[in-house]
Amino acid sequence: MSDSETSGTSKIITHVREADAPEPEVPFAEIEIVQSKEFIPVVKENLTGMIQRGMEAAVKPVFNWAGRNSLFPLHWGLACCAIEFAAGFGARWDGERFGVVPRSSPRQCDLLIVNGTVTWKLSHKLITLWEQMPEPKWAIAMGNCATGGGPFRTAYSVVPGVDKLVPIDVYIAGCPPRPEAMLDGILRLERLIRERRG
Amino acid sequence: MPEENPPLRPLIPGITAQFPQDVTVLPRRKDMLAVLKVTPARVAEVAKYLRDVGSFEHCALVSGVDWVDHLEVLYHLWSDSLKGYIELTVDLPSEDPHVPSVTEIWRGANWHERETWDMLGVRFDGHPDLRRVLMPEGYQFHPLRKSFELHEPEELEVKARHV
């Protein structure tokens, strides 16, 4: 059954029985395919395409809704912004009520929050972490250092803005931004995802 | 000076007698038992003498200063029995400065010398692993040199890539 389904017409012809051969004990469905060998594949192709397109149209908003309401940021801290990041997921601000749960492995994350000063020495690690995250993924530059280098903008060792390394979706100003500013940035990113992929 | 430091009285004449051409006793600075100026070629031997004979068993700091016309490398050595530091200074030329490594004498000097190489470009001969510490591999400059100029971020060409 599965053989004749997956391959083309030539495979189906082999199932036509000889004139003097004994009647084979085959399932009903296979006889159906043999008898209507030109009609069935066309219908099947149309049907699967229709189902696929319909499923995509039906499922995409569901994935979008599920994805944007369960953004998992990477749990890493670089500087004082990481303190605000940690406070944002503590009891007082409780970022988990938006479905935002920091995860410790980049393989489980779809959101990179760069919270702190990135030096040139660290830039390779930042790019590695970004590339280890599965698609679809987003990035937030949190604080002035990640946005544009901050007070260390002209220093010899500091990257003047992480958008030179990874594509950034939302910039959060502040030195450091308060936890509610970080949560506001995440909610703005959720709105972006809804508008962009809806 | 030796007169002001009873615990160092046997040591300073001993070291000046051992290395008469290479060690000069400089005026004392604050918090230092003594300040010695050493010629670059004999740094490792003077340091070994200070560790073995003078009981300076801890190398607290290896650093450097760019005095524009020349470079200076500093060693701060701590003695637990004397409860004090001694300072060695070495004057080096700005162009292609070389100085023997003291990593074989104090293992802790390893990263100090790497940092001095990274920031000031002083080569430590005989160092087991003289790589950059603070700046990434492939960085072209020694940023604590006075001749180093900060680049404008707008003109910066980013060549960071996955390695």
Smallest CA–CA distance from A132 into chain B, residue:
B162
Q: Which residue has the higher pLDDT, B21 or B159?
A: B21
- Per-residue pLDDT tens digits for A163-176: 888 899 999 999 99
pLDDT at A74 over 90: yes
Residue A5 pLDDT > 70:
no
User: Average pLDDT, stretch A127-140?
Assistant: 91
- B160 vs A156: CB contact, 8 Å cut-off? no
Res B114: pLDDT: 94
Partners of residue B118 in chain A, C-beta under 8 Å: none
Is some CB atom of chain A closer than 8 A to the CB atom of B153?
yes
Mean of the pLDDT values across residues A144-159?
88
ipTM above 0.90 for this complex:
no
Mean pLDDT of A65-70: 89
Interstrand relation of A170-172 and B70-79 (parallel, antiparallel or unpaired): unpaired
Is the peptide bond preceding residue B10 cis, with omega within 30 degrees of 0? no
Q: Across the beta sheet with A111-115, what order do the strands follow?
A: A111-115, A138-142, A170-172
Pick the CATH number of A81-197 from 3.40.50.410, 3.40.50.12280, 3.10.20.310, 3.30.420.40: 3.40.50.12280
> What was the pLDDT predicted at A31?
46
Put simply, whether B136 touches A (Cβ < 8 Å) is: yes
Read off the pLDDT of residues B74-120 as tens digits, 9 standing for 90 and up. Answer: 999 999 888 889 999 999 999 999 999 999 999 999 999 999 999 99
Mean pLDDT of A181-195: 92
Compute the distance between CA of residue A68 and CA of residue B28 in angstroms, rounded to an integer: 67
Return the pLDDT at B1.
47
The residue ranges of every structural domain in chain B are 2-155
**Is there a contact between A124 and B152 if contact means CB atoms under 8 Å apart?**
no
* Domains in chain A: boundaries: 2-68, 81-197
Search chain B and give the residue with CA nearest A129: B162
Q: Which CATH class is domain B2-155?
A: alpha beta
Task: State residue A179's pLDDT score.
Answer: 94
Residues of chain B neighbouring A120 (CB-CB closer than 8 A): 135-136, 139, 160
Confidence of residue A46 (pLDDT cuts 50, 70, 90): confident
Phi, psi dihedrals of residue A112, rounded to the nearest 5°: -110, 115
